[in-house]
Amino acid sequence: MATRSTNRSGEEMVGTRRRADIERECRSLERSTPFARGAASGYAWALGRDREGPVTGVHTEGPPGVDLLTAEVDAAVVRLEEQPGRSVPHDHIQGVHDALAWVCGHTETRPA
């Protein structure tokens, strides 16, 4: 079971981001492309809405901890290397990767 963390202001954190920021990013996605649906899937899992990791299928109760978020990013990297470029599975996994990489603080670039 994941432990919930808060920042100094008492705001709930998911990975290295404020939960409210992830919620806002998730709401703003268009979801008309495999990439955007993948990003939405990554956000939903990070927020604890989905119980299975979008790449590995690992089961979680509530939001996953940073260790599982990072493992899912790593699994996405491996899957991206296996998938042909610009295919539906590739674009979906790229969306998952980019969303979770942002949640984990690996990048400041939000999926778009």
Q: Where are the domains of the chain?
A: 17-104
Tell me what pLDDT residue 3 has: 55
Model confidence at 2, in pLDDT bands (50, 70, 90)? low
Q: 12: part of which helix (H) or strand (E)?
A: strand 12-14
Q: Distance (Å, rounded) from C-alpha 85 to C-alpha 107?
A: 22
Q: 101: part of which helix (H) or strand (E)?
A: helix 88-104
Q: Distance (Å, rounded) from C-alpha 88 to C-alpha 68?
A: 24
**Residue 70 Cα distances to 1, 8, 10, 36, 37, angstroms:** 16, 23, 23, 20, 20
Of residues 9 and 110, more confidently modeled: 110
Tell me what pLDDT residue 84 has: 77
Q: 91: part of which helix (H) or strand (E)?
A: helix 88-104
Q: Is 75 exposed, middle or buried (0-12, 13-18, 19+ CB in 10 A)?
A: buried
What pTM does this model have?
A: 0.91
